[in-house]
Every structure is written in C-alpha cells, then in structure tokens.
Amino acid sequence: MEVARLWLGGRGLGTYLALRERLFEVDPLSPENLLVVAPGPLTGTGAPASARYSMTSRSPLTGTLFDGNSGGSFGDALRRLGWDYLIVSGALDEPGYVTLGMVGADDVSPAGPAAGFHSAGDLWGRDVPSTLARLRELYPRSEAAVIGPAGERGVLFASIVNNRGRSIGRGGLGAVMGAKRLKALVLGHGDRRPPVADPERLEFIVYEAEKLLKANPITSTALPEFGTAVLVNVLDRAGALPTRNHRETRFEGAAAISGEALKRDHLRRRSACRGCMIGCARRTAVGDETGEGPEYETIWAFGAQCGVSDLAAVVRANYACNRAGLDTITMGSTIACAMELTELGLLPDGPRFGDARAIVGLVAATAAGEGLGAELGLGSARFAALHGRPDLSMSVKRLEMPAYDPRGMKAQGLAYATSNRGGCHLRANMLGPEILGVPKMVDRFATLGKAGLLINLQNLNAVLDSLSVCKFTAFAMKEDYYARQLGAVWGETVEPQELLSLGERIWNAERLFNLAAGFTRDDDTLPPRLLHEPVADGPSAGQVVDLPPMLDEYYISRGWDEAGVPTAVKLERLGLLTVAAAAGVPPGRRQARGADEDAP
C-alpha cells in the first residue's frame, strides 16, 4: 500500500518500476527492457470514465521514459482478475502470446490469475482485426491487447491495440512488444470487483460527478455529437491548425475534413469505453469498409498536415493504421515531412502535398517495410536527418507534435518542449485556457505568465493517468472530485492538493529518468520552424515562439536549476532524494534565479 500512496497506479506505478529497474540503461528493443501494464486505483470501481490502463517502457522512438494510456475494456478486465499491474520482461524464443487468468479456453482459474504461454502460430503475421477476431474465437469471453504487422517488424512507432480501435498509440511500445516476440496479452473473464472501502460514499460522489458531465457543453454535447474531430474547425479559425508540415496554420480544406463532415458522410454510430457516459468514439464507414475513428489528431495528421482535403482517403488511412498497428500522428507527420522533402527536390519521386492516394499507400508500405515505407518507419526525426534536413521533422525529443501549432498558442509550445515523453498534448493541453476558455481564457500569444498554469495541468494529468481516468472528465470536474473518489476507494480523506502533490512527484520522477538517460535542457526545445519562421497570414500572422524566456520561467516555477535539474530542496520536499541518488542524478547545483521553493 505504501507504493500506492506514493505512485497511485497506472502511469505513476510504471514510472516507479521503470526507475527501480533502471530502464534508462537498457536498449529499448532488448529483452532487458520491460513493459509495465497497469490500470489505476479507480479502474473498475464505477468512477466515471475510469476503464483505462497504462503501459510504460523505454521508447525505441524517443529513448525517453514512455507511457501510453488506452480505454476500452482491457484495463477493467485486468482488475477483475485481481491484478493491479503486470510486468512483461525478457523475450520469447519463438512468437507467442500469453493468457492470464484462464485454465482452459474460457475458464477463469479459481486459484488466481494463472499465466499460460502459447505459440502464436498463424496469429503471427495477421493484422490487428484478424488477430482480435481469432482470439475471440479461441477465448469467447476474453479481452486482448495485440500488435499488428508493424509491431512484429519493429516499426519504431508501432502501437498496441485493444477493443478494435483503442490504442497504446504513441512512442513505439508495439515495437517493444514485437521485439519480445509477444503477439498478444489475453485476459480471461474475471469476477473480482476492485476493493472499495466506502462504496456508498463512492456511489454518491459518482452521482454528483455524472451530473457535472451532463451539464457541461463539451462533455454532454460537443464530444458526443462530433467526437474529438469537433476541433478541426475550432483550431483552423484560431489560426493554430498545423498545415503542410507546419508551414502554415490554416487549411483551406478544413471544412471538408471537419467533425461536421465526418458526422454527415461517414458516421455510423457512436461508441464509448466501458462505463463512460461521454461517448466520444466513432464507428465509421467508407465504401465497403467500416472501422473505428478517426480521431481529431488522425484527421489532422493525414489531412491538413499532408494538405489532403479528401476525408474518405483520411478515413482509409486511419483504418490502415488500425489494421497494421501504427501511430497515426507519427505516420501522418512523417509522410508530411517526405512531402516537403519532395517539393524541395530532395526526395526524387516522393509524395507531394495533397496526394490523397499516396497517404493510404504509404501506410501499407510502412507496415510492410517496403520501398519508401522502410525509411518512413524510422519516424520523421531519423527520416529527415537521413535526407539531410533534420529541421523538417516537426518533433520534440523525436516524438512528432500533434495538431496544435504553438505559434498560435504559445504555452502549448512550452508544453511540448517540457513534456517528459516528447511532443505531446496529453501531458498538458493548453487548448482549454488558450482557445476554449476552460477553466479561464488567457492571452494565447503571451510569452510569459503561464508557466504556473501549465505546471498545474501537467501535475493534474499525471494524476489522471495514474488514477486511469479519462482526461475529458476534467472539462467538467475539478480536482476535488478525483480526490473524493480516491478517498472513498481508500476509506479516508484525500485532499485535492495532496493528490496534485503526487502528480508533481510523478512528473519530477519522470524528469529524473530522462536526465539519467542523458537528456538535458538542450532537448527541451521545438523545431526551428516554430522558433524562427513567422506565420505568414491569418489570425496568428507574424507569430513565432520565443522559447528561452518561457523555459526559464518554467524552470523557476518548477523549482529546478537553470539546467532543468530538480534541486535538493525540491527533491527532498517530494521524497525523491533517494530516487535521484539511485538513478545517479545529482541534485541541481542551485535554484534557478527568482524561484519560489514552495512553487508547485
């Protein structure tokens, strides 16, 4: 229980185990790397939108500590088997899969969550839908997390998929699983309810929280009606929709690929993760094909980022990624990088912006490792460097940035630069305060004055990922609701600030991992284009990101030194001095000028 008090579960628990096992010293694709699978303490308890789980490892794409978070029903199934986490280590001699909690085809082991190892047989080489379908035939009441051909071949941004379209999508953890020759994790149907100390108290808090979700226009209307794709027109109007490899911030074809267009032309029905009342997921169709999604980031990656306004092609590219097990953000941005290289004359016979047919074909080629796809499978940072223009990779720490151009929302640039896993909006999305006015509107073009707000969001998101709660709930719920839910599960009072302090602890521990892995302040940066190329026109005209003063303010607010290393005072306050010493990271030499040691 002491570990749970300090790390909660999910992402936090994965961080603790990655540091304990010194994954910063291992090759991400070696047998020594671990894959930590962990739901959170709220998973399976009935808390709103809590049927999630995390996988944590060292990323082969970025080299950073990396965790992914997925919805669906896999996390809930893991807890119903009585598991708080599992660790996948080593590698199989031959391709195989693991069953957990079963003694036969569909029988739950009465003695506990027994593990069985099975030859993958003809599962190896199958795509994701075929693999999931075959496993469901073999184990009718099971849940599974699987890799596709991309993970088997070691594509550096291969994903892990459960429930057809729910993914541990980013960072290449599917390649880690593939390097272990592990095709799937298959869970039996358990009936163990996660322990809740005060179920009546939790039931009342959940009732209150659901009323908030029903009353909030984002969680009750926008997301259910249009899904995450509702953001296409919002970001385009703001001049913050990255277009043609971030050369522009508005896309003339935005309306054609918007959430409204997706609903009109391709939506078949809404769907939701287990126990979620928001229902942001989309079941779609194009021609004879049906599938999950696409989400906003995917529509952007294959749409505006590639200059493609053919929504049907974007949907097909999304389906192709889901079949192969590929991260759509890195895939689309790497294709966009290739398109710019082609237009500069550096990639003979490569794809050009606006080529809708090319995006679908290049997804298949990347999964198969054929032709140009073999190079695209390296991700945009390595691909751009291979062709002599590393500046054309729109990535941070080799992770491609998502669909929010920081020249149109400056603190989002700081969020990308300081994210512990690389260019990511899920560590702290400044969309709320800089574009939507949630919880309050701030000046999106201001350089300074937003570090504290960003840090609070980063700490909160560390908490949500560790509780395994969907981030969309935070549009409607304040920190006290998460604290009260956890308190009911634990049978005690948990204060909101106590919870945020745990998030701060997790964030700083992740920083220690990356410092031990060799990352420095120099890695907390953005692509040169965003720092030096002003937006040509539109609402963000003339804007660039002036990052150095923002980074200084952030380090000061974090209580780190000028190199971005937590000081001894900060580490002691968070109980991380021994963690830092074990990782071989000396405390910061001195406090960054003007820092408040009591800052979050």
Q: How far apart are CA 451 and CA 461, in angstroms?
A: 15
Residue 107 has pLDDT above 60, yes or no: no
Element (H, E) at 88: strand 86-88
Which part of the chain has CATH 1.10.599.10?
A: 429-583
- The stretch 220-233 carries a mean pLDDT of 91
Taken as a whole, the chain contains a residue count of 600
pLDDT, position 600:
43
Q: What is the pLDDT of residues 530-555, one digit of tens each?
A: 999 999 999 999 999 999 999 999 99
pLDDT, position 190:
87
> Is the pLDDT higher at 113 or at 228?
228
pLDDT, position 106:
46
In sequence order, which residues have a C-beta less than 8 Å from that of residue 427 and are 6 or more positions away?
Answer: 415, 419, 420, 421, 458, 461
> Of the candidates 52, 48, 44, which has an alpha carbon nearest to the alpha carbon of residue 208?
48
Q: What is the pLDDT of residues 122-149, one digit of tens each?
A: 999 999 999 999 999 999 989 999 999 9
Q: What is the pLDDT of residues 466-525, one digit of tens each?
A: 999 989 898 889 999 999 999 999 999 999 999 999 999 999 999 999 999 999 999 999
pLDDT, position 373:
98
Do the beta carbons of residue 339 and residue 306 sit within 8 Å? yes
Q: Crossing angle of helices 547-558/410-418, nearest 10°?
A: 60
Specify the pairing of strand 395-396 against strand 399-400.
antiparallel
Q: Crossing angle of helices 451-467/410-418, nearest 10°?
A: 50
In sequence order, which residues have a C-beta less than 8 Å from that of residue 116 and are 6 or more positions away?
Answer: 98, 99, 100, 102
487-495 contact pairs (CB < 8 A, 24+) = 487/201, 488/196, 488/197, 488/198, 488/199, 488/201, 488/202, 488/205, 489/41, 489/42, 489/45, 489/194, 489/195, 489/196, 489/197, 489/198, 489/202, 490/41, 490/197, 491/197, 491/198, 492/197
Residue 319 has pLDDT above 60, yes or no: yes
Residue 103 has pLDDT above 60, yes or no: no
Only one residue has tokens 């291969």, namely: 158
Beta-bridge partner residues of 289:
286
Strand order in the sheet with 281-286: 267-271, 281-286, 289-292
Which part of the chain has CATH 3.60.9.10?
A: 2-187
Q: Give the three-class secondary structure for 314.
A: helix
Look at 70-79, 95-104, 190-199, 491-500 and tell me which has the smallest mean pLDDT: 95-104
Do the beta carbons of residue 337 and residue 527 sit within 8 Å? no
Residue 203 has pLDDT above 60, yes or no: yes
pLDDT, position 280:
82
Q: How far apart are CA 417 and CA 398, in angstroms?
A: 11
Residue 528 has pLDDT above 60, yes or no: yes
pLDDT, position 210:
93
Only one residue has tokens 């709930």, namely: 473
Q: Which fold has domain 429-583?
A: 1.10.599
CA triple 473-53-183, angle to 5 deg: 140
Q: How far apart are CA 321 and CA 476, in angstroms?
A: 32
Residue 102 has pLDDT above 80, yes or no: no
> Of the candidates 104, 108, 274, 135, which has an alpha carbon nearest to the alpha carbon of residue 192?
108
Mean pLDDT over the full length of the chain: 94
Q: How far apart are CA 469 and CA 69, in angstroms?
A: 10
Q: How far apart are CA 238 and CA 412, in angstroms?
A: 14
pLDDT, position 271:
77
Q: What single DSSP character describes residue 290? A: E
Q: What single DSSP character describes residue 192? A: P
Percent of the chain with pLDDT over 90: 86
pLDDT, position 591:
64
DSSP class per residue in 114-166: -EEEEE-GGGTT--HHHHHHHHHHHSTT-EEEE--HHHHTT-TTB-EEETTTE
Q: What is the pLDDT of residues 22-76, one digit of tens each?
A: 999 999 999 999 999 999 999 999 999 998 999 999 999 999 999 999 998 999 9
Q: How far apart are CA 271 and CA 274, in angstroms?
A: 10
And the tokens for 191? 């009936």
Q: Which fold has domain 217-400?
A: 1.10.569
Residue 1 has pLDDT above 70, yes or no: no
Q: How far apart are CA 218 and CA 278, in angstroms?
A: 9
Look at 56-65, 243-252, 284-293 and tell me which has the smallest mean pLDDT: 284-293
Q: Which amino acid is located at 113 in the chain?
A: P
Q: Which fold has domain 2-187?
A: Aldehyde Ferredoxin Oxidoreductase;  A, domain 1 (3.60.9)
Q: The pTM is what?
A: 0.95
Q: pLDDT band at residue 434, thresholds of 50, 70 and 90?
A: very high
